[in-house]
Amino acid sequence: MLALLLCGLSFALPPFVRADACKDVSLQNEAPSAGQPFAFDCTHPPLTSGKAHVTWYKYPSKIPVSKNTQSRIHQEQNWILFLPLTQEDSGIYQCVINGTDTCHRIHVNLTVLRKDWCGISGNGQLILSDEYKQIQILHEGRDNSLTCHLNFPQSCVLDSLKWYKDCEEIKGERFISWEMKLSVSNVSAEDGGSYACQARLTHTGRQYTVLNSITVNIAETNGYAGRIPKIIYPKNNSIEVQLGSPLIVDCNITDTRDNTNLRCWRVNNMLVDDYYNESRRIREGFESHIFSQKDIFYTVNITFLEVKMEDYGHPFVCHAGVSAAYFILKLPAPNVQAYLIGGLFALVGATASVMYLYSIFKIDIVLWYRSAFHSPGSKEDGKVYDAYVLYPKPQREIQSHEVDTLVWKILPEVLERQCGYKLFIFGRDEFPGQAVANVIDENIKLCRRLIIVLVPESLSFDVLKNMSEEQIAVYNALIQDGMKVILIELEKVKDYTAMPQSIQYIKQKHGAIQWSGDLTEQSQCAKTKFWKKVRYHMPPKRPPPSFSAQPLKHMS
């Protein structure tokens, strides 16, 4: 039983113990005036940045402060809000930060002061009481600013800010009030004194007046040392941005707590809000700040609704007191890689299409080129004939007749008469009585091409009477001269395997041209597809050699 009891106790104890195990992290003193709103934010980075649970208590009560926004004193998010503050609210307030497995506590010692700033004096003037005041410093001869530090949660709307000096509203050219700031240009010693900033605060439809007293001391300009604000960003850098896109750039600044520096964005040495007062295309954002131990971290942004061409290359300068830093907008650099790849694709595409077109129109292009740029200066190559015509003597009567028609009539008609080539046709051009082998051997050397006419089946060269003629010719053409061979199929040859290997080789390498046309037709035209192909394979035409006679005949 005892063990059980102890065990139960040990389970019951920890939360009780932990309640007191909350770690006190800080004690802060606050001394606001009664009769006006007051708020305190329980922030303690990094404790309050995560999923921490914040609860406010008024010591020594264990009952949390109400979260009802209609309550005069209530908690909103991490804030405790007094709307308004009364003298009786003085005391110690605790903010308990419950993390997942940690507990921290912040104490706030609130001393509420009497509300008699700017009481009515005998001569009807407002008099500021000498109670707790913030101290801000202005530097003689400089342009400085005072800040109205009004810290309230977002549910509180602050507006209608007014500035007072010695209880009189401030007016004059040297003073410009904007947002929570009062800028003072050309500060002089007379600017020192008691200031107050007053604003209207609206919360859940109810209005309050909030007032901050500030004691302003004037410092000699050389007193600047050590209080130069530091601009963390921008860093005189450039920012790449697309034309027409929106843009927000933060100016991040750290400055001392008691600073009086003016922070703003300028372009062409004018406040951006003034410079773009008509279009309001570029605006300065409201300044936000975060307190740290000694410094205040400020952020003030500049918002471009839309980047325009005129914005590029201009410095947009963030000023913080004597410090300044700018950024310049730049058009994004073109994506070099994309351009390269695109260019490459375009090039490959263009090349492919040119090659495709060339493959289709190759023959026409070459023939046109030859006719257009007939080269009169071609070298004399010692040849007499443009082509040696080699043809079979088929046994079947019809085929034999066809071959004869082609070789004896049509080839000379088109290639010789119309195109001006000179052919050597066996049985027409040789010297009578010459040995066949000699005729071929010697004449073929004088030809630039070898035309072989093929006829299927009966055409198997081994049935030809003139075995030697064919063999010598092909041998000479292929081996000795590297001469080009033109195969003309009189009919479609389906089976080349019966042909000699040399013919098979030529067919494989250069292909064959198939006769298309009518052998009985009288007029042949050199412009048909078939003849264009033949002409394409023929050598370019040369000027006729000066000695037009047949040297062979002379020689013999």
Residues 126-165, mask of contacts with ligand NAG (x by CB under 6 A): ----------------------------------------
Q: Which of 55, 183, 209, 405 binds ligand NAG (CB under 6 A)?
A: 55
Question: With the C-alpha atoms ordered 29, 32, 35, 38, is the resulting torsion angle positive or negative?
Answer: negative
Our finding on whether 525 is near ligand NAG (CB under 6 A) is no
Residues 172 to 231 in contact with ligand NAG, rule: CB under 6 A? 186, 188
What's the min distance (Å) between Cβ of 277 and ligand NAG? 4
Does 53 participate in binding ligand NAG (rule CB under 6 A)?
A: yes
Give residue 36's Cα distance to chain centre: 54
Q: What is the DSSP letter of 519?
A: T
- Regarding 335 and contact with ligand NAG (CB under 6 A), the answer is no
Report whether the peptide linkage leading into residue 392 is cis, meaning its omega lies within 30 degrees of zero.
no
What angle (nearest 5°) sits at the alpha carbon of residue 134, between those of residues 131 and 137? Answer: 130
Q: What contacts 51, CB < 8 A, 6 or more positions away?
A: 99, 100
CA–CA gap between residue 420 and residue 412 (Å, rounded):
9
Least separation, in Å, of the C-beta of 98 and ligand NAG? Answer: 4
Distance CA 257, CA 292 (A): 9
**What minimum distance in Å lies between the beta carbon of 261 and ligand NAG?**
15
Options 109, 155, 209, 400; binder of ligand NAG; rule CB under 6 A: 109
Sheet containing 263-267: which strands, arranged edge to edge?
Answer: 237-240, 323-330, 315-320, 263-267, 270-271
* 365 vs 151: CA distance, rounded Å: 85
Locate tokens 């005069």: which residue? 72
Which window, 277-285, 332-340, 349-357, 490-498, contacts ligand NAG (CB under 6 A)?
277-285
Question: Residue count at the site for ligand NAG (CB under 6 A)?
Answer: 32
Q: Which of 105, 310, 70, 295 is nearest to 204 (CA)?
A: 70
Query: Which one, 186 or 480, has the nearer CB to ligand NAG?
Result: 186
Chain CA centroid to CA 19, Å: 56
| Contact letters for ligand NAG, residues 282-311 (x by CB under 6 A) | ---xx------------x-x-x--------
* Residues 273, 321: Cα–Cα separation, whole Å: 18
Nearer to ligand NAG among residue 45 and residue 334 (C-beta): 45
Any contact of residue 111 with ligand NAG (CB under 6 A)?
A: yes
Tell me how far, at minimum, the Cβ of 203 lies from ligand NAG, in Å. 20
Residue 469 annotated in active site: yes
324 binds ligand NAG (CB under 6 A): yes
Please check whether residue 316 is in contact with residue 249, taking contact to mean a CB–CB distance below 8 angstroms.
Answer: yes
Catalytic residue among 469, 470, 491, 521: 469
Binding site residues, ligand NAG, CB under 6 A: 15, 18-19, 29, 53, 55, 92, 96, 98, 103, 109, 111, 186, 188, 232-233, 235-236, 248, 250, 252, 274, 277-278, 285-286, 299, 301, 303, 324-326
Residues carrying an active site annotation = 469
